Amino acid sequence: MAVALVLAAGLGERLGLGRPKALAELAGRPLWRWSVEVLSDMDEIDRVVVALPPGIEAPAGIVGVLGGAARSESVQRALAAAGDGEDREAVLVHDAARPLLTVEITRATLLAFDGGAVDAAIAASPVIDTIKQADEGGRVLRTLERSGLWAVQTPQVFRRDALRRALDVPAKVLVEATDDAWLVERTGGTVAIVPSPRENLKVTTPFDLQVAELLLAHRQSVASDLPASA
Ligand code: CTP
Ligand code: MG
């Protein structure tokens, strides 16, 4: 069994709504509720903890905790609120900013974690653009070899002890971390990639919110066309 930590406590400055991104209305519900619903309905996950902005209540059956100033601080607080567990327990970390999470992606990531055979298993999609590195003046320095490059997403599943150790570092290291897996890598931990569709996108800008809205509305219309299951 696994515990899921959902991070929804960011300010959403790049989205620019003047309120936390988690509260953005998306295809009929607040953005943060989409992935929480997927995770809380899964049999493989026994507890869901959500790091939230001030003043937001978690629904029944979900543990809500006030997020911190930096993302990794929100992870620490959510992990603390998840209570005790065995070292090998799977702890799944997910950004609420990825509302298109599916059961399939989550299951594939948990499967690759393989009961703790690796320190972490992370969803990622192959990079499709050619990536060039440039200097500050915009002059190209080199073109990176695209094969082998992955755009990293969440969910990311960790052994509980590996995540705890990864987060137990000075604040200046924590603020550098844009994903938790890097904190595991930097101390030599094993991290497995799990291929995931680009559709599991992160809502960062108003454009992303529009795309997510279209994809979720489409998903809902396809679901409502299906005959009700017996
Ligand atoms: N997050 C969090 N606590 C923080 C910062 C971020 O829980 N102190 C969460 C966000 O809610 C989001 C995820 O981490 O689900 C990824 O962060 P990001 O996309 O950067 O979201 P924001 O920090 O809200 O956006 P911005 O950087 O534009 O302010
Ligand atoms: Mg941010």
What pLDDT shows up at residue 178? Answer: 79
What pLDDT shows up at residue 176? Answer: 85
Tell me the average pLDDT of the chain: 95
Q: Give the ligand whose atoms come closest to the C-alpha of residue 78.
A: 1
What pLDDT shows up at residue 112? Answer: 97
11-43 tens-digit pLDDT: 999 999 999 999 999 999 999 999 999 999 999
What pLDDT shows up at residue 52? Answer: 98
182-222 tens-digit pLDDT: 999 998 999 999 999 999 999 999 999 999 999 999 998 89
96-125 tens-digit pLDDT: 999 999 999 999 999 999 999 999 999 999
Q: Give the ligand whose atoms come closest to the C-alpha of residue 11.
A: 1
Which of 15, 17, 19, 21 to mutate to test ligand 1, by most ligand atoms within 8 A of the CB atom? 21
The protein residue with its alpha carbon nearest to ligand 1, atom 17, reads: 10
State if pTM tops 0.85. Answer: yes
142-181 tens-digit pLDDT: 999 999 999 999 999 999 999 999 999 998 898 888 789 9
3-state SS of the chain?
CEEEEEECCCCCCCCCCCCCHHHCEECCEEHHHHHHHHHHCCCCEEEEEEEECCCCCCCCCCEEEECCCCHHHHHHHHHHHCCCCCCCCEEEEEECCCCCCCHHHHHHHHHHHHHHCCCEEEEEEECCCCCEEECCCCCEEEECCCCCCEEEEEEEEEEHHHHHHHHCCCHHHHHHCCCHHHHHHCCCCCEEEEECCCCCCCCCCHHHHHHHHHHHHHHHHHHHHCCCCC
